[in-house]
Amino acid sequence: MKLAFLLDPLHTLKAYKDSSVAMLRAAAHRGHALYAIAPDGLSWRGAGVMAKAARLTVRDSDDWFKVDDVVHCALADFDHVLVRTDPPFDAEYLYATQLLSLAAESGVKVWNAPQILRDWNEKLAIMRFSEWCVPTLISRDAEQLRVFAAEQGDVIIKPLDGMGGAGIFRVREDGLNLNSILEIMGNNGKRTLMMQRYIPAVRDGDKRVMLIGGKVVPWALARIPAAGETRANLAAGGTGVAMPLTEREQMIADQLAPLLWQKGVLLAGLDMIGGYLTEVNITSPTGMVEIFTQTGFDPADHLVKVLEQS
């Protein structure tokens, strides 16, 4: 197969832990031709969506890639196109998904589907599954947010466009600094925020449950917060520990997996704390390397096998 990956700059990827690199290596091991497309490498000029694509040799060493050639070609020349650029979801990301939608409409297999990338913000997606969530408020009205915080007593405040734990605050029952946090994070009512009841079980791990091709990966990656830290994200200093899924985690994942696959989601990362669904990550879910290293189950290889059959 010819596989194209829409990626952030290759030199910025941390090969020792990056899931996109793990996918590229798995595909290389299985003999597929690999190409990288930068976000500014998409274009359209009447005859279809085109790409400036770098043909790659991918290795298992620290010096993990070599660009063999750069070609200008139609996206239709690839068997699959995988979108793996990180948030934030800005205007340029939106334009890229619109170009990718045009390609998908002409028959190009784009994963995850551009339409759902646009429609399913990773924080807001849980609104569709409120029965599995802790009390949550999404608003930019400071008074509503203050009332909700007082009702819940201990809350987490998140921006809707962040990743890796960036910009997340915890406010306890004393409400210390709540007004300042709302003013700064909410830009004085111009920015919508998410507020959720704090889940003490986060100390046991913010679990990433992967869905690949409509099936549930049998191991979750529990991100354990560092000492003195509320955020469990690996980018915020958390430690990743692979664990079997609990009965409730399995139940939630089993119900979401076929639904997301039907909507064109090849890879999703469900975030769960204490058995509650907190996010549905579909832009560039991570955790593959840690699961493989600790359990021997290789999510990246499994994903490539799904592509071979799709």
Condensed to tens digits (0 to 9), the pLDDT of residues 159-184 reads 988 766 678 899 998 888 898 999 98
Question: Considering the entire predicted model, what is its pTM?
Answer: 0.90
DSSP 86: P
Burial string for 242-271 (b: 16+ CB within 10 Å, else e) reads: bbebeeebeebbeebbeebbeebbbbbbbb
Does the pLDDT of residue 265 top 60, yes or no? yes
Supply the pLDDT for residue 239.
Answer: 84
Average pLDDT over residues 20-39: 97
Q: What CATH number does the domain located at 135-198 have?
A: 3.30.1490.20
Residue 188 is among the residues annotated as catalytic for this protein: no
pLDDT band at 227 (very low <50, low <70, confident <90, very high): low
Name the active-site residue from 25, 84, 158, 207.
158
Out of 109, 197, 207, 223, the active site residue is: 223
Question: Which whole number is the average pLDDT over 21-35?
Answer: 98
User: Catalytic: which of 271, 290, 298, 301?
Assistant: 271
158: annotated active-site residue: yes
User: Is 30 tagged catalytic?
Assistant: no
The span from the CA of 101 to the CA of 95, in Å, is 10
Domain spans, the chain? 2-114, 135-198, 201-308
pLDDT digits (tens, 9 = 90+) for 36-58: 999 899 999 887 999 999 999 99
Which of 122, 206, 249, 279 is an active site residue?
A: 279
Helix axes 19-29, 299-308, angle to 10 degrees: 60
Answer yes or no: are the C-beta atoms of 35 and 3 closer than 8 Å: yes
Which of 20-34, 180-194, 203-217, 233-247 is predicted with the least confidence, judged by mean pLDDT? 233-247
Model confidence at 155: pLDDT above 90: yes
Topology adopted by domain 2-114: Rossmann fold (3.40.50)
The residue-averaged pLDDT of 142-154 equals 95
* Identical fold, 2-114 and 201-308: no
The residue annotated as part of the active site, out of 197, 208, 249, 290, is: 208
Is 77 a known active-site residue?
no
Instruction: Report the CATH fold assignment for 201-308.
Output: D-amino Acid Aminotransferase; Chain A, domain 1 (3.30.470)
* Mean pLDDT lowest among 2-6, 63-67, 115-119, 234-238: 234-238
In the annotation, is 25 catalytic? no
Q: How far apart are CA 42 and CA 85, in angstroms?
A: 13
Supply 271's token pair: 């975030």
Q: What's the CA gap between 210 and 233, in Å, rounded?
A: 15
Q: How many CB atoms lie within 10 A of CB 17?
A: 16
Q: Which position among 84, 206, 281, 290 bears the catalytic label? A: 281
- Quote the mean pLDDT of the chain: 92
Q: Is 223 a catalytic residue?
A: yes
Task: Look up 281 and say whether it is catalytic.
Answer: yes
Higher pLDDT, 118 or 235: 118
Residues 299, 291: contact at Cβ < 8 Å? yes
Dihedral class, residue 188 (left if φ above 0, else alpha if ψ from -120 to 50, else beta): left
Query: What integer is the mean pLDDT of 60-77?
Result: 96
List beta partners, residue 67.
56
Judge whether 208 counts as a catalytic residue. yes
Q: Identify the active-site residue in 123, 290, 298, 301.
A: 123
How many other CB atoms sit within 10 Å of the CB of residue 151?
11
